[in-house]
Amino acid sequence: MILYFDNARLIDPEKGSERSGALVVDNGIIAALDTPTPPRGAQVIDCAGHCLAPGIVDIGVKIGEPGERHKESFRTAGRAAAAGGVTSVITRPDTLPAIDTPEALEFVTRRAQDAAPVRILPMAALTRARAGREMVEIGFLMDAGAVAFTDCDRVVENTKVFSRCLTYARALGALVIAHPQDPGLTAGSAVTSGKFATLRGLPAVSPMAERMGLERDLALVEMTRARYHADNLSTAAALPVLERAKAAGLDVTAGANIHHLTLNEFDVGDYRTFFKLKPPLRSEDDRLALVRAVATGLIDTISSMHTPQDEESKRLPYQEAASGAVALETLLPAALRLWHEGEISLPALFRALSFAPARRLNLPTGRLTEGAPADLILFDPHAPFVLDRARLLSKSKNTPFDGHRMQGRVRGTWVAGQQVFSNGL
């Protein structure tokens, strides 16, 4: 089938441009741009002046299969991703049990192919059972389809084990993704240290814990020359460390999640557990520093860090409640807040949402150029709505944006030229 997207506002993150134009899709591939008339026999899609951009590539999505299917399944996560404009879901291995063998990886790959309408690309654990003691079989897991290796929010505390993992990953060209924190300082914490934490009487952690963890990781990266991505930076204190590593020529990138870019520590309010995240929400100064880092490209990617939790895990005292929030469907409208506030352009925003994560994972997606896969989203950046968490397609509903006024609606999502979501088309 040939598709002709007419009257579109084309957002090209690779070239850093946005312009009015048309786009042709043939056999699942972007075939041409700015063709004045549709090809013979093409299905014409009137974009009505809305934005047409590469589909979002979301690194770090938690899906509860195996072990926690009651929180999220591949079917519900796939539907939520399509509705949110996420065409490539990069899944985390923090399942029960962890994805640390080729057999486990093949299981989730088959389940995803059967159940999800979007691309599901799995990451594998870096150490057995994410316990930080024994390295996984990186080569075999890469052969089975692992796109990166991570122990998620568990820090590999043993530096000898972590350096060995980085050395093997370097030899095989594998990407290691880490969640930099000093585990001794972060243990038992629920919020960021400061006046607010003291007033609420909650156990807190200094932002320096993130900087200390990142400095350790990058020293080992300098020693091993491995490919490294810090998945969830949240503090201004960590940014100079990242900047020095990049200036030194290390193969290092970093990401921030949408909640730390749009919320701050005061949103916790009166112990609202839907705002409990890992790492915890930071100060407004930290948030603004992160936004500037995304706009300049110092922070490369924006992710949802989608972490579904059931009601029983969240309806607890703040300190005891589980961390995390669902975000596949709120990632785009929340990110568009940064554009509406004039803090970042749309091409720069989609550089972080689509192009940079695809490039880091060596994927052909994330681009609006001829020959690229036709993974596309059409969205109206101005469409207003009030978020009702009960209407989310995710199985779990733990979003901090419940009841918030937001702008930005996905009108259609295509994966390899096949429409997987429609809203008003």
Type of residue numbered 63? I
Residue 165 above 80 pLDDT? yes
User: Could you read off the pLDDT of 92-118 as tens digits, one per residue?
Assistant: 999 999 999 999 999 999 999 999 999
CA–CA distance, 277 with 264 (Å, rounded to integer): 11
Residue 246 belongs to what domain range? Answer: 55-360
pTM beyond 0.85:
yes
Within-domain flag for 150: yes
The pLDDT score that the predictor gives to residue 303 is: 98
Residue 316 above 90 pLDDT? yes
Q: Are 234 and 283 in contact (CB under 8 A)?
A: no
CA–CA distance, 13 with 209 (Å, rounded to integer): 33
How large is the average pLDDT for residues 350-379?
98
User: Could you read off the pLDDT of 82-95 as tens digits, one per residue?
Assistant: 999 999 999 999 99
CB proximity list for 221: less than 8 A, separation 6 or greater: 166, 228, 245, 250, 251, 252
Within-domain flag for 347: yes
The pLDDT confidence band at residue 245, using thresholds 50, 70 and 90, is very high
Helix axis angle for 208-224 and 239-247, nearest 10°, is: 20
CB proximity list for 195: less than 8 A, separation 6 or greater: none
The pLDDT confidence band at residue 70, using thresholds 50, 70 and 90, is very high
Half-sphere exposure of 232 (CA within 13 A, CB side): 28
Within-domain flag for 215: yes
Residue 1 above 90 pLDDT? no
Would you call 408 helix, strand, or coil by DSSP?
Answer: strand
The pLDDT score that the predictor gives to residue 67 is: 95
Q: Are 14 and 56 in contact (CB under 8 A)?
A: no
Q: With left for phi above 0 and alpha for psi between -120 and 50, is residue 358 left, alpha or beta?
A: alpha
DSSP 313-326: HHSS-TTTSPP-B-
Within-domain flag for 378: no
Nearest C-alpha neighbor of 242 from the set 221, 265, 262: 221
Within-domain flag for 393: no
Q: Are 358 and 364 in contact (CB under 8 A)?
A: yes
- Read off φ and ψ for residue 228, nearest 5 degrees: -140, 140
CA–CA distance, 279 with 214 (Å, rounded to integer): 13
The pLDDT score that the predictor gives to residue 254 is: 98
Residue 2 above 80 pLDDT? yes
The pLDDT score that the predictor gives to residue 425 is: 72
How large is the average pLDDT for residues 126-137?
98
What's the chain's average pLDDT? 97
Nearest C-alpha neighbor of 60 from the set 236, 246, 308, 242: 308
CATH code assigned at 271: 3.20.20.140
Within-domain flag for 217: yes
CA–CA distance, 181 with 153 (Å, rounded to integer): 9
Within-domain flag for 25: no
How large is the average pLDDT for residues 242-256?
98
Helix axis angle for 284-296 and 239-247, nearest 10°, is: 20
Beta-ladder partners of 301: 255
Q: Are 253 and 301 in contact (CB under 8 A)?
A: yes
Task: State how many domains the chain has.
Answer: 1
Dihedral sign computed on CA atoms, order 327, 332, 337, 341:
positive
Structure-token pair, residue 286: 């930290």
Within-domain flag for 72: yes
User: Could you read off the pLDDT of 198-221 as tens digits, one per residue?
Assistant: 999 999 999 999 999 999 999 999
